[in-house]
Copies of this chain bind each other. A is one copy, B any other.
Amino acid sequence: MKKKDIIVQKYGGTSVATTKRIKEVAERVIYTKKAGNDVVVVVSAPGDTTDELIALAKKITDNPIERELDMLLATGEQQSIALLAIAINALGYKAISFTGSQVGIITDKIHTKARIIKIDGKKIEKALKLGKIVIVAGFQGMNTKEDITTLGRGGSDLTAVALAAELKAKICELYKDVEGIYTTNPNIVPKARKLPKISYDEMLEMASLGAQVVNGRSIEFAKKYNVPIYVRSSFNEKTGTLITGEEKNMMEKLLISGVTLDKDEAKLTILGVPDTPGVAAKVFRSIADRHVNVDMIIQDVSEKGITNISCTVDKVDLKKTLIALGRIKSEIGATGIIADENIAKVSVIGVGMLSHPGVAASMFEILAEKKINIEMISTSEIKISCIIEKKDAEKAVQAIHRKFNLDKQKGSKL
């Protein structure tokens, strides 16, 4: 017998927020099964469950111990998988659910933002062979001490992509409350256009810059193992966006694929540090030791051997970062530390952007025209980001989107 294609489907929290929606997901899963595929489903915690559980823990203490927070949070997805399995079985199809621990999703020991080390697909393959639909709890795994861990923001997408890689799935479908990837946020720019296809690299920049449809870690993983991702709506049958390897033909036509906005970062500036070797290393080692990811880093031009170092971090990590920096402040001879949560990051993304040097200039021009001050700039091969004041965020996105003609079907031109 020919081996069936495996399709991994992931449904987010809004898709399983009520029993009615869970039944709808069950029908969609069965539809895919009936089409002749083996189906593995990954689900998030229902609705706002995760936030509610965090709020409960915070009612006990401001700093809940992270091992136990993971133990608490993991119950959300466990409820979803059980309810979905109940719904599918009630419709006459065999489904079996597994927690992250049960299915052998092994992670490192960093609670609340663990990284997947390996997945043992045997249990899933065995169940698929028996004709069962397999349902796996997203967002969670266990470390080698058998403690439950959680994967952090976007963790359920990551679970789905990692399973798809391990099981050599034909495709990883991510069902979202949006219809796909847009050139920018349609709430800010009503003319934003849905992209039929986008490369991993472009998507990586989109994701890490706050497009927030698919988390960056999931895209990295998909790129590494070449897992095609199809992002689509869980509420209608419209076509979505395929995220896949670059195809020259398509990609070269597109200069800019999107404009993104991120309001979840905070800016930190360490003032008056000596411009000597090792200072930056000390600063960012001290932050890394607290498992905080730094996004942008800027070091000012040194004056009289003294300089300022600025960086951005996730707002939720600001407190931790300030504590880390506070500890090393006198050691590195800094004169002060400033934190600013009142910022936004606006970025343009596009493969091959660097072969068109005018992109950066166009972006800065349009911001200047709108009298929006640029506080920090950072560039990569396929994106340009500017930190601006939060109050200007939406105005900047709208202006840049229009400037690059992103509402036109054929892609942008300079």
Contacts and interface: CB of A to CB of B under 8 A. Distances in A.
A71 B82 contact: yes
Interface in A89-107: 89-90, 95-97, 99, 101-102
Contacts of A6: none
Interface in A279-314: none
Interface stretch (A73-81, A174-182, A225-233, A339-347): A73-81
A65 B83 contact: no
B59 A85 contact: no
A68 B56 contact: no
Q: Number of copies of this chain in the oligomer?
A: 2
Interface string A44-58: 000000000100110
A56 B53 CA distance: 18
A119 B81 CA distance: 27
A90 B78 contact: no
Contacts of A214: none
Contact of A83 (B72, B83, B146): B72
A65 B75 CA distance: 19
A86 B102 contact: no
A396 B30 CA distance: 56
A19 B59 contact: yes
Contacts of A90: 60-61, 63-65
A63 to B, nearest CB: 8
A165 interface: no
Given A60-B23, A74-B78, A78-B78, A68 B53 contact: no
A67 interface: yes
Given A72-B83, A75-B75, A99-B148, 17 more contacts: A19-B60, A22-B60, A23-B60, A57-B83, A60-B83, A61-B89, A61-B90, A65-B85, A68-B89, A69-B82, A71-B78, A71-B82, A71-B97, A71-B99, A75-B82, A101-B101, A102-B146
